[in-house]
Amino acid sequence: MTNNNPLPPKERMKIPRQRMPEQASAERRVNFAEVNLGLSAALAHQEALRCLHCKSHHCFTGCPVGVKVKDFIELVLAGDFLGAAAKIREDNVLPAVTGRVCPQEEQCEGCCVLGKNGEPLAIGYLERFVADYERQSGRVGLPPRAPLTGKRVAVIGSGPAGLSAAGDLVQRGHEVTVFEALHELGGVLIYGIPEFRLPKDIVRQEVENLTRMGVEFRTNVVVGRTVTVDELLGERGYHAVFIATGAGLPVFLNIPGEHLCGVYSANEFLTRVNLMKANQFPAYDQPIYDCRGKDVAVIGGGNTALDAVRTAVRLGAKTASIAYRRSEVEMPARVEEVKHAREEGVQFVMLTNPTEFLGDDRGWLTGMKCQQMELGAPDKSGRRRPVPRAGSDFVMPVQVAVVAIGNQGNPLVQSATPDLRTNPLGYIEADPDCLKTSKRAVFAGGDIVTGGATVILAMGAGRRAAQAIHDYLSHGTW
């Protein structure tokens, strides 16, 4: 591809990284609208000018699905935004989502050479920009569908893994039905990640695109209960099954008082707001505990914890804190989320580990007994292990606590499919390349195989599964 950049490399490096326009923190604390407003075409062009068009294109290797970053940036520079979006879609079918939620600093941008001496190219912002441009233009270039093969595939779960597999399979001419347990499609993109980071209309639009491509969606079907995998492969006439049920089983701390009113799992807290719209109660019927004027603590340090605490801010909490047992550098949450949270007034109480929830005689949470931690030797994950400091107990007054320390695999499908091999944590065993499970014609991918990971990794798994399923359906050999 030709280089559309008129500037010599030295000039390019003088341009500062463009800033993402965003809602002012005082304003966004009281609404659920998206925080980042998106680049204008002018800002996008200015940012794209910074790209060095490297020969070794590191950015490409940093992206888990191999988005051709350099090529799409070229198209942005040429003003061909639709072309740029189509270029991304070759490898990534949800660019408006990943442009917003990928941990770019560890992936594409983490590998950008500009980052060595300055700030990396804002690849995520540009990806989001072209995807939004494409969506707003109403001219999403849907890929053509191959002639029908007569083969039918059942996809279980409509998160990013399921959606991307469905898109690829339908393109190859297979008939695809996606079965989803909830009443809305999108998985964590709908019930977990809040509106202020990922507007739900974007997810709905992507689902709509897949419907137009020919994917059939069936909500309110809990596989393992409403129908089993064996029935799908038997009387229901599917030739292959892809299990993409995510890691939706909340882990609790298992400390005294966890049953108190006011103690939530992050899944419940976020689902009530995102899926059920409890923030709009009583216009929507599902309530959430009224956080106005309350002290809210969220336990954990990942994206889920940050989403929960920023949701608490928007629900009117008097104070909203993150309690994390390590220090801030170990927090797995994205840098941008931590920055946004801090601007919104979230307090970070580090090296703090709750040991007991305290309640009143009516069974309501009043406080959280915690111990202070210090960092010891590194553990298996390479992070320094937190160890309690003797005699450091203190009580944090809170009326709402949200436990966001992780999830495990939901066992519903596995328990109804005895010949499906799982590991001790309850995740399904699948070949990392072809995603085959121990059961013929059954593939699995995304968080149900890897444990809680990222949107883009789940999508990558979905695409690899689609390829493997296509091969299997074409040759019939397992």
Partner 1 sequence: MYRIIEARFLAPEVKLFRLEAPDIARKQQAGQFVIVRVHDHGERIPLTIAASDATTVTLIVQGIGKTTRLLNTLEAGDAVRDLVGPLGKPSEIHYYGTAVVIGGGVGTAIAYPTAKALKYAGNRVIAILGARTRDLLILEAEMREFCDEVRVTTDDGSYGVKGLVTDQLEALVNSPTPPDFVLAIGPIPMMRAVAEVTRAPGIQTVVSLNPIMVDGTGMCGGCRVVVDGRSQFACVDGPEFDAHQVDFKILSARNAMYRAAEQQALADLNQHPPELHRCRLADAQPGAVTPP
List contacts with partner 1 (CB under 8 A). Answer: 181-183, 219-222, 225-227, 248-250, 252, 254, 258-262, 264-265, 267-268, 271-272, 276-277, 281-287, 289-290, 362-364, 410-412
Does the bond joining 282 to the residue before it have cis omega, within 30 degrees of 0?
yes
454 binds, among ligand SF4, ligand FAD, partner 1, none (CB under 5 to 8 A by kind): ligand FAD
| 214 vs 405: CA distance, rounded Å | 38
Of 466, 446, 442, give the one whose Cα is nearest residue 455.
Answer: 446
Least distance in angstroms from the C-beta of 136 to partner 1: 26
Of 13, 78, 113, 434, the one binding ligand SF4 by CB under 6 A: 113
Least distance in angstroms from the C-beta of 226 to ligand FAD: 8
| 84 vs 447: CA distance, rounded Å | 29
Residues 6 or more apart whose Cβ sits within 8 Å of residue 464: 433, 434, 435, 445
| 270 vs 195: CA distance, rounded Å | 10
Of 39, 43, 96, 108, the one binding ligand SF4 by CB under 6 A: 108
By beta-carbon proximity to ligand FAD, the closer residue of 203 and 370 is: 203
By beta-carbon proximity to ligand FAD, the closer residue of 92 and 454 is: 454
By the criterion CB under 6 A, which residues form the site for ligand FAD?
A: 101-103, 156-162, 179-182, 187-188, 192-193, 221-224, 244-246, 248, 270, 303-304, 307, 334, 410, 412-413, 446-447, 452-456, 458
| 258 vs 469: CA distance, rounded Å | 43
| 36 vs 21: CA distance, rounded Å | 6
DSSP assignment of 144-182 equals P-PPP-S-EEEEE--SHHHHHHHHHHHHTT-EEEEE-SS
- Examine residue 59 and tell whether it contacts ligand SF4 (CB under 6 A): yes
For residues 223 to 242, the per-residue mask of contacts with ligand SF4, x marking binding by CB under 6 A and - elsewhere, is: --------------------
Least distance in angstroms from the C-beta of 117 to ligand SF4: 12
Cβ atoms 435, 444 nearer than 8 A: yes
Determine phi and psi for 99, rounding to 5 degrees.
-55, -25
Question: For ligand SF4, which stretch binds (CB under 6 A), given 51-59, 341-349, 360-368, 425-433?
Answer: 51-59
Only one residue has tokens 């049953």, namely: 259
Distances (CA, A) of 349 to 94, 109, 303: 35, 29, 16
In the structure encoding, which two tokens stand for residue 45, read together? 């062009």
- Examine residue 85 and tell whether it contacts ligand SF4 (CB under 6 A): no
- Examine residue 52 and tell whether it contacts ligand SF4 (CB under 6 A): yes
- Examine residue 102 and tell whether it contacts ligand SF4 (CB under 6 A): yes
Interacting residue ranges for ligand SF4, rule: CB under 6 A = 51-54, 57-59, 63, 65, 67, 69-70, 92, 98-99, 102, 104, 107-108, 112-114, 121, 123-124, 127, 456
